[in-house]
Structure 1
Amino acid sequence: MTHESVWFSRPRKYGKGARECRVCSHRAGLIRKYGMNICRQCFREKSTDIGFVKVRLLRPPTQPTHSTLRERKIKESATYSY
């Protein structure tokens, strides 16, 4: 048996070796969600063509800390002189 006949002798029907990117046939970094089977590099290039839109969520407002409330009271007392 030569090296060429042994190298791909095992059938690849399941597992990482069986899956590849449908655009560039790369095997690493696959996005398999929704049955896309696209590597992450091709996904970045083709995402707008596919219809994905990047959504940026705004951060929720943070709760004021105790020190922040204390600073507000000091500022308010400084502005209102009795």
Structure 2
Amino acid sequence: MSHESVYFSRPRTYGKGARECRVCTHKAGLIRKYGLNICRQCFREKSQDIGFVKVCPTTTTSSTTTLRSNQQSPIQKLIEYL
């Protein structure tokens, strides 16, 4: 058996090896919450496009964190963006 026939030959159907970033196909640092499946580097670049807003913890107004009825959820924006 040569190295080429055995290298990376087992099926990747579960675990960390089965998941990758949907933007850059990187396997490390994935954000899987809400079904995003984006690596942390891509999330920093695309978070504004998706619709995430950075909120200061000292701010008590909830107007920036709640979605208005005419806005899409961040997941819907991500699906349209990709």
**What is the aligned-residue RMSD (CA, Å)?**
1.1
Distance in 1 separating the partners of 2:17 and 2:3: 19
- Corresponding position of 2:41: 41
How many matched pairs? 59
- Corresponding position of 1:8: 8
- The percentage of aligned residue pairs carrying the same residue is 81
TM-score (norm 1): 0.69
> Deviation of residue 9 (structure 1)?
1.3
Query: Given residue 31 of structure 1, which amino acid in structure 2 is its aligned partner?
Result: I
Query: Given residue 8 of structure 1, which amino acid in structure 2 is its aligned partner?
Result: F
SS of residue paired to 1:46: helix
Point out which structure has higher relative CO (alpha carbons under 8 A, 6+ apart).
2
Give unmatched runs, 5+ long, in structure 2.
60-82
- Corresponding position of 1:51: 51
Distance in 2 separating the partners of 1:47 and 1:8: 32
Distance in 2 separating the partners of 1:53 and 1:43: 12
Query: Given residue 11 of structure 1, which amino acid in structure 2 is its aligned partner?
Result: P
CA deviations 1:15-74 (Å, max 9, x no partner) are: 000000000000100000011100000000000000000000218xxxxxxxxxxxxxxx
Question: Is the radius of gyration larger for structure 1 or structure 2?
Answer: 1
Give unmatched runs, 5+ long, in structure 1.
60-82
